[in-house]
């Protein structure tokens, strides 16, 4: 999954977001806030938020076949805890939780 373009997408988005956020905090603490940093802090999210969500969702979607095939992070019955957990369906629920 790490070779998917969606991973690069959300990593770039997260990086730009954090650089913008901490630049804003730093300049604000120094009492010298350039207009561009302030503008970027409050406007970049219009593009970065949907791009980040798309990158995350596409990455989860790309991982689904591997998760289903391997059963990674899943707990099947019977076991000593008498509990079942399927990570595949959990990821699907997580993907749908992005909607609201």
- Catalytic positions are 49, 56
**Distance (Å, whole) CA 30 – CA 27:** 5
User: What is the C-alpha R_g of the chain?
Assistant: 19
Closest to 17 in 3D by CA, of 39, 35, 41, 33 = 41
């Amino acid at each position: 999954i790490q070779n998917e373009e969606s991973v690069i997408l959300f990593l770039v988005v997260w990086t730009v977001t954090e650089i913008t956020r901490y630049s804003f905090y730093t300049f604000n603490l120094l009492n010298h806030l350039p207009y561009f940093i302030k503008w970027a802090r409050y406007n970049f999210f219009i593009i970065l938020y949907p791009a980040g969500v798309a990158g995350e969702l596409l990455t989860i979607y790309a991982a689904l076949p591997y998760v289903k095939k391997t059963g990674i992070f899943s707990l099947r019955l019977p076991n000593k805890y008498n509990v079942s957990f399927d990570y595949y369906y959990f990821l699907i629920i997580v993907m749908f939780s992005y909607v609201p």
